[in-house]
């Protein structure tokens, strides 16, 4: 096993830094020596080595044991640790680190890729209508479906894709040992064993954390040719996926619904901001055929040029207080500074603030306030 993979399993070095080490150095020993000489050795790694008397072999042995044991615990078929730079699925997903874990195919299935995303929480009657709509869509549209591994719209997308023989790529927030909620695991097993893939950017034993859902949404947007939001309230993590897709110049669409229905408020916000309104399978085929509309893909920077009055929404005002007068701040840092705010709520607030011209997203995933 690659020593860099053993170190990755211990999570003592950030994924991006570990990837850079692996590109520049022939061994972990060389990378650590270089980082130590330059004064850039990560504190967690330094402390872990100190506890083990400076013995790197002991530390890497622990990493190998952990990785092998956790891979053995994954209850999905065709599980493998893969090189993110030489694997078709992981490379397209834009994984930050040098490795990922994939169950299923190593190459992207042919044909266009449609991300079907939305809320996890659907009223019973609305769940039935959404199920019928997605099932009808995938009976008529030949595509690879990309989604998360959660309940709600994700689960309905799994079921419809399997029913109509559409290959599927599922991106998890957490390691493959924790492959989705219990009710979705049978579907994930079938997806990985029938020409699809279930993938994760994290070591297999890593439990999901709030910030990891933000990263998962980035990977979903990167994998897709188009993102379709089927149901989303005003504070939905699916809006974050849509925002990332806009930034990557992917096509973004949303399904409209009754004006009084909470589960459509996020969809309506996207449509107002320039997302394509989708009502039928024909609209989705057109969307996949056309790619991102140039007007739509330039919407966010265009809207950000003119700052408006201070936000009135309580969450947005908290965000503004954090961002005003500072440089770029990462999404993970914002989650830490906003206790009680979930990733979905953060994404929705940032989307609203971007569209109103209060903030812009910069390369590398940093958020910056627009000067008034």
* Residues 99-114: tens digit of each pLDDT: 999 999 878 888 899 9
Q: Are residues 293 and 317 in the same domain?
A: no
Specify whether 224 is located in the same domain as 292. yes
Computed over every residue of the chain, the mean pLDDT equals 86
Are residues 201 and 240 located together in one domain of the fold? yes
Q: Return the pLDDT at 224.
A: 94
Considering the domain architecture, whether residues 286 and 307 belong to the same structural domain is answered as no
Q: Are 353 and 318 in contact (CB under 8 A)?
A: no
Name the nearest CA neighbour of 266 among 213, 224, 313, 230: 230
Residues of 196-225 as b/e, b for ≥16 C-beta within 10 angstroms?
bbbbbbbbbbbebebbbbbbbbbbbbbbbb
The residues with which 253 forms a beta bridge, in sequence order, are 228, 276
Q: What is residue 348's predicted lDDT score, i.e. its pLDDT?
A: 74
Q: Which of 269-278, 322-331, 343-352 has the highest mean pLDDT?
A: 269-278
Query: For residues 212 and 236, is the Cβ–Cβ distance under 8 A?
Result: no
Cα→Cα distances 114→229, 258, 287, Å? 10, 24, 10
Q: Which has the minimum average pLDDT: 118-132, 204-218, 288-302, 314-328?
A: 288-302
Q: Two tokens at 300?
A: 């966010």
**Residues 305, 288 share a domain:** no
Same domain (yes/no): 283, 304 = no
What's the average model confidence in pLDDT over 271-293? Answer: 85
Pair (256, 284) in one structural domain: yes
Q: Is residue 53 included in any domain, yes or no? A: yes
Residue 355 confidence (pLDDT): 65
Q: What is the largest CA-CA distance in the chain?
A: 64
Spatial separation of the C-alpha atoms in residues 178 and 207, rounded to whole Å: 6
Residue-wise pLDDT tens digits, 113-163 = 999 999 988 888 889 999 999 999 999 999 999 999 888 999 999 999 999
Same domain for 64 and 188, yes or no, is no
Handedness of CA 212, 216, 218, 222 (dihedral sign): positive
Q: Which of 208, 215, 222, 202 is nearest to 101 (CA)?
A: 202
Q: Are the C-beta atoms of 149 and 171 separated by less than 8 Å?
A: yes
165: left (phi over 0), alpha (psi -120 to 50) or beta: left
Query: Distance between CA atoms of 283 and 112, rounded to whole angstroms?
Result: 14
- What is the model's pTM? 0.80
For residue 91, being part of any structural domain is answered with no
Give residues with Cβ within 8 angstroms of 91, minimum separation 6: 84, 85
Tell me the pairing of strands 144-148 and 113-118: parallel
Instruction: Report pLDDT digits (tens) over 210-256.
Output: 778 888 988 999 999 999 999 998 878 888 899 889 888 899 999 99
Percent with pLDDT over 90 in the chain: 49
Same domain, 151 and 292: yes
Report pLDDT for 363: 58
Q: Are 194 and 311 members of one domain?
A: no
| Strand (E) or helix (H) holding 260 | none
| Confidence at residue 83, expressed as pLDDT on a 0 to 100 scale | 92
In a domain, 98, yes or no: no
Is the distance from CB of 330 to CB of 336 less than 8 angstroms? no
Domain end, chosen from 297, 312, 331, is at: 297
CA distances to 48, 177, 228 from 60, rounded to whole Å, are 11, 21, 43
The residue count of the chain comes to 372
pLDDT band at 364 (very low <50, low <70, confident <90, very high): low
Supply 341's token pair: 């705010």
The average pLDDT across 359-372 equals: 72
Structural domain for 165, as ranges: 113-297
- Tell me the pLDDT band of 365, cut-offs 50, 70 and 90: low
User: What was the pLDDT predicted at 306?
Assistant: 37
Q: Say whether both 278 and 289 belong to one domain.
A: yes
The pLDDT score that the predictor gives to residue 1 is 63
């Amino acid at each position: 096993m690659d020593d860099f993979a053993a170190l990755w399993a211990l999570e003592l070095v950030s994924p991006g830094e570990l990837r850079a080490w692996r590109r520049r150095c022939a061994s972990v020993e060389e990378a650590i020596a270089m980082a130590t000489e330059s004064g850039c050795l990560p504190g967690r790694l330094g402390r872990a080595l100190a506890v083990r008397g400076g013995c790197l072999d002991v530390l890497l042995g622990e990493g190998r044991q952990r990785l092998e044991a956790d891979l053995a615990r994954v209850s999905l078929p065709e599980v493998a640790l893969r090189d993110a730079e030489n694997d078709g699925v992981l490379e397209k997903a834009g994984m930050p680190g040098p490795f990922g874990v994939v169950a299923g195919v190593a190459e992207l299935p042919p044909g266009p890729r449609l991300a079907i995303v939305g809320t996890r929480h659907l009223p019973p009657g609305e769940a039935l209508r959404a199920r019928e709509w997605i099932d009808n869509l995938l009976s008529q549209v030949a595509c690879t479906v990309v989604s998360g591994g959660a309940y709600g719209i994700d689960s309905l997308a799994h079921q419809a894709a399997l029913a109509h023989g559409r290959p599927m790529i599922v991106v998890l927030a957490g390691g493959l040992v924790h492959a989705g909620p219990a009710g979705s695991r049978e579907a994930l097993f079938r997806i990985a064993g029938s020409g699809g893939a279930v993938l994760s950017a994290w070591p297999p034993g890593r439990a999901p954390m709030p910030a990891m859902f933000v990263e998962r949404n980035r990977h979903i947007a990167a994998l897709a040719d188009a993102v379709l939001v089927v149901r989303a309230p005003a504070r939905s993590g699916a809006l974050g996926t849509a925002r990332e897709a806009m930034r990557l110049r992917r096509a973004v669409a949303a399904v409209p619904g009754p004006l009084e229905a909470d589960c459509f408020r996020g969809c309506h916000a996207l449509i107002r901001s320039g997302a394509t309104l989708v009502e039928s399978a024909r609209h989705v085929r057109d969307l996949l055929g056309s790619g991102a509309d140039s007007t739509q893909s330039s919407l966010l920077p265009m809207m950000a040029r003119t700052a408006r009055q201070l936000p009135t929404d309580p969450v947005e005002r908290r965000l503004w207080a954090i961002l005003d007068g500072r440089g770029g701040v990462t999404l993970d840092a914002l989650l830490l500074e906003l206790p009680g705010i979930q990733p979905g709520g953060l994404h929705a607030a940032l989307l609203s603030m971007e569209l109103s011209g209060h903030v812009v997203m910069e390369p590398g995933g940093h958020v910056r306030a627009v000067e008034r």
